[in-house]
Chain A
Amino acid sequence: MKYAYIIYNSITFASRVKREAARSFCWCSMLQTPGEISTNGCSYSIRCKVEDVPKVAAVSSRLNIQIKGIYLSRQEQGKVTYEPYDLS
């Protein structure tokens, strides 16, 4: 199963985006950004379905909340790997 990780500077930002996305019926979870893709010490991410990335990005943009990075995760043979996601 592929997921997207949308990274924010703080849990407050992630929380704001998650709640606003849910108002558009876009359901996400929130978690601490895995170290491999974290841009700094304590960042938080929204994890969502890959097809929901544009919706979450649009919500972030509307709220003027900066996205620090977007990655897709893939689990193969018990190992999780990440690849950058190009929003454009």
Chain B
Amino acid sequence: MNHMIYLDNAATSYHKPKCVLETLAYHTRNSSANAGRGGHDASVRASSLLMEARETAADFFGISDPLRIVFGQNTTMALNLGISGLIQDGDHVVISSMEHNSVSRTVAARENVEYTVVMANEQGYLNPFDVDRAIRTNTALIVINHASNVTGSVQDIRSIGKIAEKHNIPLLVDAAQSAGCIPIDVEQMNISLLAFAGHKCLMGPLGTGGLYVREDIPIRPVLFGGTGSMSESLSMPEFLPDALEAGTVNAPAFAALASGIRFVERHQSEIRQKETYLTQRLLHGLLNLDSVTVYGSPLQQNRVGVVSFTIDGRDPAECSNILNQKNHIAVRAGLHCAALAHQTIGTIQGGTVRASVGFFNKPSDIDALLLAVKHLC
């Protein structure tokens, strides 16, 4: 395992900053009581950790009220809370063709809800005017993937936010691949709901994610259970975060996430520069190989460090297996839980090989991948 070259950061950031690991270990040992489920010191301490994490996340995303952030296990959970908590029978939803299954399946699962898939171009970019054109009188929600986990393409959320504002329709942004990589300010971008992963670019532990819900968004609970508040009632509390946060929250993990966010804040420009450099190096190397097809933009602009490619005559899964077994390089092959995105770029049959860079990768990791791919060509 020590020799593994990890290029699957879009799935999760495997290597974490030391401060994150230390915070997780410390609070797992010392603050593992159940937050909000007692008045004893250990429980109160765990609650304070969660509040500190909410404040840290709120500052990071330009959110004025930390209580509007609901913690959950991952982006999928956050998207489910947001979509299922908002839409009702008879509603119409606009989504993009770059959505992850956590959006497309959640919307498609509702029998009495119609949806329109706004097509991105072959490189994975949406035209915001197409979003505008897809809006109907009964459109209740727009859900847009900020940065694709297949092509790395970054959508113009600011323009889409203006469209959502014009029509007074909530905009839910899937920031699984962007939170921590691309600056996000929910107020400036007119984002009504933001679903984010804690364990990817924000460098937190696995099992951390969250949903921001703007104050004017009337959201219903999706999960029901204990909240440590208003226990005498058979209904869920109406206030956030309790309304959407049933069950025990992993306070040590969110303390470690806060540590990760602070790390990202301190190193933001360094992270961006390094990931840009590594992505450019990877793109340049792959584009110079004759039998390799790179999907998404060949340029660095408006993209994150996610690069999908195929090798002529080779099955992506076979490539991934060889890279793993022979070269100890971790990449991901297939459809990446994003069938719509693969339909968009024309790779629904077999998918692609995806390499995704992170802050802890080195140029030599990219060179090792390029050499291994060259041997596969």
**Chain A residues near B (Cβ < 8 Å):** 9-13, 15-16, 18-19, 29-32, 40-44, 63-65
Contact = CB atoms under 8 A, between A and B. Distances in A.
A40 B233 contact: yes
**Main SS of the interface on chain A?**
mixed
The 5 A-B pairs with the shortest beta carbon distances in the complex, nearest first, are A32-B39, A41-B231, A10-B229, A41-B232, A15-B51
B87 interface: no
Contacts of B242: 9-10, 12
Contacts of B134: none
Contacts of A11: 35-36, 44, 47, 228-229
A40 B233 CA distance: 9
B123 to A, nearest CB: 43
Nearest to A19: B51
Interface in B227-273: 227-233, 237, 239, 241-242
A15 B67 CA distance: 10
Contacts of B38: 32
A42 B230 contact: yes
B228 A30 contact: no
Contacts of B51: 12, 15-16, 19
B205 interface: no
A40 B50 contact: no
B276 to A, nearest CB: 36
Given A19-B51, A30-B44, A30-B47, A10 B227 contact: yes
Given A31-B44, A32-B38, A9 B230 contact: yes
14 contacts: A9-B239, A10-B239, A11-B229, A12-B36, A12-B47, A12-B241, A19-B51, A29-B44, A30-B44, A40-B233, A42-B231, A44-B36, A44-B229, A64-B65
Contacts, number: 72
A15 to B, nearest CB: 4
Contacts of A9: 229-230, 237, 239, 242
B233 A13 contact: no
Contact of B66 (A16, A29, A40): A16
A81 to B, nearest CB: 19
B315 interface: no
B280 interface: no
Contact of B52 (A19, A29, A30, A64): A19
A16 B52 contact: no
Interface centre among A12, A18, A64 (most CB of B within 10 A): A12
A18 to B, nearest CB: 8
Given A41-B232, A42-B230, A19 B55 contact: yes
B230 A15 contact: no
A42 B228 contact: yes
Nearest to A45: B39
A8 to B, nearest CB: 9
Nearest to A30: B44
Contacts of B66: 16
B39 A40 contact: no
A61 to B, nearest CB: 14
Contacts of B239: 9-10, 13
B116 interface: no
Nearest to A15: B51
B48 interface: yes
A59 B228 CA distance: 23
Contacts of B230: 9-10, 40-43
A31 to B, nearest CB: 4
Contacts of A12: 36, 47, 50-51, 67, 229, 241-242
Contacts of A19: 48, 51-52, 55
A15 B227 CA distance: 15
Given A10-B228, A40-B230, A42-B230, 18 more contacts: A9-B230, A9-B242, A10-B242, A11-B47, A11-B228, A12-B50, A12-B242, A13-B67, A13-B239, A15-B47, A15-B48, A15-B50, A15-B51, A18-B48, A40-B229, A40-B232, A41-B233, A42-B229
